[in-house]
Structure 1
Amino acid sequence: MARTEFYDDPDAPAPNSLVVAASAVVTDEQGRILLQRRRDNGLWALPGGGMEMTDSLPGTAVREVKEETGLDVEITGLVGTYTDPRHVIAYTDGEVRRQFNVCFTARVTGGELAVSDESTEVRFVAAREVDELPMHHTQRLRIAHYLEGRERPYLG
């Protein structure tokens, strides 16, 4: 299923869904950031996805990182909350989601890096290379907030 992301676009479809989601900035020992190239839109993104009824929010991030990258992680902190109503995501099945994401920091504890059915490529990327990758600006925002080394999480 393909998806299109809209931000502050008057022509964007009206949201009909709100899904609680979690993502994670996972770094390796060199400080590189784990990214995946999404199969549904071809853009690079942090691993993450929707919370299930049996998940906690941090547990959602851990599960999604494993499902999408093959890596086991441990949550180490909070980057921020991302709930901007101007960001909507339209899916080809008719769902139009309003953004609701909590982004955590995490470190690798095991597993092996692997592409999933949701991605076409998965790799660790140096911070200086992030700007060169095709990526929705809301993903760049989360990464920028992480790189700022904020004392407090972003609340937005």
Structure 2
Amino acid sequence: MTSAPVPVPPGPADPDGGLLAEQLLRVTRRLHRIQKRQLEPLGITPAQSRLLRTVAHCPEPPRMADLAARLEVVPRAVTSLVDGLEAADCVRRAPDAANRRVVRVELTDTGRATLRQLRSARREAAEEILAPLTADQRELLGGLLTALAEGSGPRC
């Protein structure tokens, strides 16, 4: 019979940060579950949501190959995501003006409206996670998360 692991407070008893890593993963998984539940009524998957956000953050419509690299997926996965989002009128494929062989992905008006709904769903999911924290704790957490996020590269 196995028992549940006993939480070890961070610090000298957890020098390698294993507990912190586990806590971050648990919070991330919880956030993803909440977001997935909130995305269902929109008919958007978490992967499609991520692609829409990536397209929106690019200064110009990205190429399909660039999206695959940024999302760290195989190009075929991007094709499937774009197919679904194009069917929902959230994005459209557009030829590159300088090179007809290159296909770029553009947001449509429906895609921009969907992004607004997605942002709202993400805020609601975050609020559900952050509800137990005071304003001071949220501010502290925000600073810590910003410091951690600075290690990630640019989106476009």
- Give 1 or 2 for the bigger CA radius of gyration: 2
**Structure number with higher strand proportion:** 1
Structure with more helix by fraction: 2
TM-score (norm 1): 0.21
Q: Structure with the greater relative contact order (CA < 8 A, sep ≥ 6): 1 or 2? A: 1
